Structure 1
Amino acid sequence: MSEDHPFAQYVRALGKGPNMWRDLDFEESKDAMSMILKGEAEPLQIGAFLLLLRRKGETGEEFAGMAAAAKALFEADLPNLKVDYDWPSYADRHRQQPWFVLAAILLADQGYKILMHGIEGYSEGYAPTRPALECFKIPEATSLSDLATLFQDQNLVYLGLEKFCPELQALFELRPYLGVRTAVNTFARDLNPLNAPCQLQGVFHPPYKAGHLQTAKILGQENAMIFKGGGGEVMRNPMKEARVDALLAGEETEIVWPALTDTTTYKWREEDLTSDQVLKLWRGDISLPVPEKAIIGTLSVALKMKNPDESVETLDRMATEIWENRDRDRF
């Protein structure tokens, strides 16, 4: 080959020596990810690109550009449909129950339309999201076009990434080869497939909050709640205060929710990971005070975007009342 491959420019920008490498801007990131998703980059280049990004630390502008590239693949297929909340679920190894599913159900019971989307996740020795949703018979869409029909009768619908952006799903499958997660695991959370005005983000590592916030702003997200979530999911840890990086009507702010319990010894990673545990907790067949507070706390954060003038204390009380008054025999 006498000339550099077109994609080489992006590897070169990230991979030059000390004091010579640089971040990519929005358009560069968008073009690079577009080439990858369209099969225009070689496997060697894709691995180098993703690992160089991870090594230097991705920027919000890079995340936004890559998310925009992925979204461009399916935008033409989006149904004419309005939902209230975007709820991504992309943690691949749940070492604790996805109690946040119950918070999403409670939020849907308030009349809000919610699209939850994500990846399958590992199952052996873990507790992924999808089996928990199945316990409550939450419908899983087979495609973007399927959503319009499902949302006619449902307020909470799940859509797997492989059903609306298989090209991006394929990049998740590189993890066993690269040995680490990459930017793919991060920017997929920012896709917001149906352009919901309210978006929730749970991150595993707090430094990623700033990147998600910048990404949301660049992509024009009006309302977003971004916080360190249990297992990297949208789930508040009630044993600690929650410092939430927020966008409310486009305005950036930080909101702090206090801890909801004095207990500090609950061991998330010692939970029973069988999927019917979530259903048992809903029905009141088991008592788990800390997970119950996690559900209440998560719901409280979600409600803030629809009740921006309410205090965190009021929202916690609202969420507690909703939880206590749930229909335990519904499922």
Structure 2
Amino acid sequence: MTLTQAEHPFAEFIKILGKGKKGARPLTQDEAYRAMTMILADEVLPIQLGAFLMLMRVKEETCEELAGFVTAVRECLQFTPSIQVDLDWSSYAGKRRHLPWFLLSTLLLAENGIKVFMHGAGGHTQGRVYTEKALESLGIAAAESLQQAEQQLVARNFSYLSLEHICRPLFDMINLRPTMGLRSPVHTLVRLLNPLAASHSIQGIFHPGYRQVHQHAALLLGEKDMAVLKGEGGETERNPDVDCLVQSVAAGELSDETWPAMFPRRHMKEDELDPQRMLALWRGDWQDEYAEASVIGTLAIALKLLQKAASQDEAHALANTYWHSRSRGYLGV
């Protein structure tokens, strides 16, 4: 007699997502939390993980699912921050049309006493310049643990840490992109992690529809002050050539604000992505109006989020002051 094989516990979540057009539904926040908890505990078969990630990709994540996923990851980290961080800045997309000018925005914040913790992952998509490599070109070494990140934040108000050293299972999943040919929910949830519990957070996305999902997920997670924008190339960087809608949680309330384009015409993409140009721009050895506007415009959004300015005009004025008074020999090293 053939014995009936017991159903795998994780099959529950695959069934919820995959029952077809009429039977399928999104996960509740609790179901998403339980599913991610099992994934992080390595209680899921590889074939189940692939099916789960792609079913989520086809239907796209809800804010409740993201909140459940992020809660599970935060619990798994088991890390209690020992310092107060001002701004969590996610960086997972990489740049392919322009250099990551937003890095200079974060270094200006750090130079002016604001602690910025940046986390990301690089190399999962060909032809892009990723943050960790760009920082190396500027002489800035990445941290190798959350503890070391805190030490760097105390020493220089800035630290970058790869997802590899925050949550290895998520890092492995995000690097499945070349295998699957598609992004997965991991690319979204990592932007919301805020692993050092910064008082403010800022995120960039590529697909405009994800702005509101991030915004509402942050509200469910209890974030008090966060901002999400359609960033250049999907990074947290304002494109000065177009209007920029920033959707936020401000003091625990939802808020939307449009920042107008800084130029009447669009600029051509850069002819080459040489990170040394970032150093040259900072030192004043090379000028480029798009690059400078990108740095200042991105910085202005961050300053307003941080309540350093009450209006867009004040934020731009302060950002200009930071830029023109920068120490040209300083790069946060």
1:140 is matched with 142
Q: Name the CA distance, whole Å, in 2 between partners of 1:233 and 1:2.
A: 46
SS of corresponding position for 1:19: helix
Q: Which moved more, 1:22-31 or 1:120-129?
A: 120-129
2:292 is matched with 292
User: Unmatched 5+ residue regions in structure 2?
Assistant: none
- Kindly report the root-mean-square deviation, in angstroms, between the aligned alpha carbons of the 2 structures: 1.6
- Is 1:72 equivalent to 2:75 in the alignment? yes
Offset from partner CA, 1:191-210 (integer Å, 9 cap, x none): 00011111001110110001
1:97 is matched with 99
Percent of paired sites with the same residue: 40
Offset from partner CA, 1:249-296 (integer Å, 9 cap, x none): 1111111111112231x123x342122121111112221101111111
Residues 62/7 of structure 1: CA separation in 2 closer, same or farther (3 Å cut)? same
Contact 1:138 1:156 in 2 (8 A): no
Q: Name the CA distance, whole Å, in 2 between partners of 1:309 and 1:318.
A: 8
Residue 323 of structure 1, CA deviation = 1.1
Q: Name the CA distance, whole Å, in 2 between partners of 1:318 and 1:206.
A: 28
1:24 is matched with 27
Q: Name the CA distance, whole Å, in 2 between partners of 1:276 and 1:124.
A: 20
- Is 1:248 equivalent to 2:269 in the alignment? no
Q: Name the CA distance, whole Å, in 2 between partners of 1:130 and 1:65.
A: 28
2:193 is matched with 191
Contact 1:91 1:121 in 2 (8 A): no
The residue type equivalent to 1:248 in the other structure is: A
2:55 is matched with 52
Offset from partner CA, 1:200-231 (integer Å, 9 cap, x none): 01110110001101111111111011110011
Contact 1:203 1:209 in 2 (8 A): yes
Contact 2:138 2:276 in 1 (8 A): no
Contact 2:205 2:229 in 1 (8 A): yes
1:61 is matched with 64
Q: Which moved more, 1:141-150 or 1:118-127?
A: 118-127
1:173 is matched with 175
1:128 is matched with 130
1:221 is matched with 223
How many residues are treated as equivalent by the alignment?
328
Partner residue of 1:82 out of 78, 81, 84:
84
Residue 34 of structure 1, CA deviation = 1.4
SS of corresponding position for 2:215: helix
1:267 is matched with 268
SS of corresponding position for 2:119: strand
The residue type equivalent to 2:213 in the other structure is: G
SS of corresponding position for 2:152: helix
TM-score (norm 1): 0.94
Residue 72 of structure 1, CA deviation = 1.5
- Is 1:11 equivalent to 2:27 in the alignment? no
Contact 1:91 1:232 in 2 (8 A): yes
Contact 1:97 1:271 in 2 (8 A): no
2:310 is matched with 310
Q: Which moved more, 1:292-301 or 1:143-152?
A: 143-152
Partner residue of 1:41 out of 38, 44, 51:
44
SS of corresponding position for 2:20: coil
- Is 1:200 equivalent to 2:202 in the alignment? yes
Q: Name the CA distance, whole Å, in 1 between partners of 2:28 and 2:223.
A: 19
Q: Name the CA distance, whole Å, in 1 between partners of 2:299 and 2:97.
A: 21
Residue 145 of structure 1, CA deviation = 1.8
SS of corresponding position for 1:246: strand
Contact 2:11 2:48 in 1 (8 A): yes
Q: Name the CA distance, whole Å, in 1 between partners of 2:197 and 2:96.
A: 27
Residue 138 of structure 1, CA deviation = 2.9
SS of corresponding position for 1:323: helix
Contact 2:303 2:315 in 1 (8 A): yes
Q: Name the CA distance, whole Å, in 1 between partners of 2:97 and 2:145.
A: 29
Residue 309 of structure 1, CA deviation = 6.1
Residue 120 of structure 1, CA deviation = 2.2
Residue 57 of structure 1, CA deviation = 1.7
2:330 is matched with 330
Contact 2:94 2:129 in 1 (8 A): no
The residue type equivalent to 2:303 in the other structure is: L
Partner residue of 1:237 out of 229, 236, 239:
239
The residue type equivalent to 2:47 in the other structure is: L
User: Unmatched 5+ residue regions in structure 1?
Assistant: none
Q: Name the CA distance, whole Å, in 2 between partners of 1:213 and 1:308.
A: 21
Q: Name the CA distance, whole Å, in 2 between partners of 1:278 and 1:52.
A: 40
